[in-house]
Amino acid sequence: METISKIKKIGWGFGLCNMNCEHCYNSSGMKESIPRYSFGELIIVADKICPHIRDINFGTGELACNPNAMELIRYIATKYPHVDIAITSNGYTITQMTPVDIKRNLNDVDISIDFPDSERHNSFRRHGEAWNWAIRSLEILRDVRLQRTITMCLTDQVELEDMLKMLRLADKYEACLRINWYRKTGRGSKNLQISAEKAWSVIEFLADKAVFSSLDSIFAGPLGVKSQPCPAGNFSARIHQDMNVTAYPFLKGKMWTAGNILDSHTSMNDIYNSVSFRKLRNRSIPRCQDCAFKSTCGGGCVTRAALHNNGILEIDDYCPVYYQQMTVVDRLRGKIIVHKQGNLVHDGYLCTTILKPHEGV
């Protein structure tokens, strides 16, 4: 029997982008093969999804590089005021918007910065303006007083001293810091992946320097702090550049696809009831059955299990039980402060860590 969709959060990504980042999970760029959509096609999709959802994030590629995408935002903001809109940007899009458009149409913005200095950031993103655009957009967002987050993709190239500088950068712009723990897919290579030991060393390093707004369940469950287990297939979905929908930005291809949202026969209920979404909702991991954290950790992020460990019935890379990190967990218990910061669209959309640095960190 068909169940009414419980998807409340949508991420929508277009493929055209003016950067060529080493780690891009979408392999975005300015290729001819990337689809371009008419305004009419975009609003068919908007009218299908917006009555059912609470918020939407536009990210990957860069919004302003994609035809009609800026008009789409204005359309959704006007016709569906109950939908909070966020953008994840390399900075360029924000520099192309008027302050009035930013303030009127957006709920919050994530600005991607992967390293705390211009040389490494520009080199990783293979673009000479990457740092300047990111900093300029943080200034604009601070001026118009819009909720803002610096989003970093945490790879093995990032050291703890970089984390401290990232916290200071976020503090300077009165922004949150969001950590997207690197997943190996798209253009990214295996040597960017981080180990459980490194992931837990980052959490321990941050513990006394920030308030956590949300924490991936693989950390939160064992630490005994509140979090939401992996939302894939439950509350969020992702529209990819070809309009195929999967449960997660990092999961693409036939195996994960629930349908094409531009297809007039595909509804939100069809997506929610698809084989791929049901499979994720029914995930039950043999190795977690006797774990004390089973109900709160839930095996961690399904994408790390699928992309790095051979399938959704495997565990997350950062499992502290199987990867010998319980001494860190024991040291950290009771030391993590969790307090929600604003109403950020990424909170609950995917397994991610959002924090607010202590002032003057």
Q: Binding segment for ligand SF4 among 31-39, 54-62, 175-183, 352-360 (CB under 6 A)?
A: 54-62
| Member of 5, 7, 12, 17 binding ligand SF4 (CB under 6 A) | 17
Phi, then psi, of 263 in degrees rounded to 5: -70, 125
User: By rule CB under 6 A, what string of x and - marks binding of each residue 22-41 to ligand SF4?
Assistant: --x-x-x-------------
Task: Please list every residue from 207 through 236 that binds ligand SF4, using CB under 6 A.
Answer: 221-222
Of 80 and 322, the one with the shorter C-beta distance to ligand SF4 is 322
Rule CB under 6 A: say whether 11 interacts with ligand SF4.
no
Per-residue tokens: 246: 């999967």
Rule CB under 6 A: say whether 10 interacts with ligand SF4.
no
Residue 182 amino acid letter: Y
Of 43 and 87, the one with the shorter C-beta distance to ligand SF4 is 87
| HSE-up of residue 182 (Cα within 13 Å, Cβ side) | 25
How many H helices and E strands in the chain? 14, 11
Residue 78: which residues within 8 A CB-CB, separation 6 or more? none
Is residue 84 helix, strand or coil? strand
Q: Degrees (nearest 5) of the Cα angle 65, 256, 347?
A: 60
Residue 55 amino acid letter: D
CB 157 within 8 A of CB 329: no
| Member of 196, 288, 328, 332 binding ligand SF4 (CB under 6 A) | 288
Residue 142 amino acid letter: R
| Member of 57, 90, 234, 353 binding ligand SF4 (CB under 6 A) | 90
Task: For the chain, give percent helix, strand, coil, nearest 5.
Answer: 35, 15, 50
Rule CB under 6 A: say whether 293 interacts with ligand SF4.
yes
Q: In whole angstroms, how close is the CB of 71 to ligand SF4 at the nearest point?
A: 20
Of 24 and 72, the one with the shorter C-beta distance to ligand SF4 is 24
Footprint of ligand SF4 (CB under 6 A): 17, 19-21, 24, 26, 28, 60-62, 90, 125, 221-222, 287-288, 291, 293-294, 297, 299-300, 315-316, 319-322
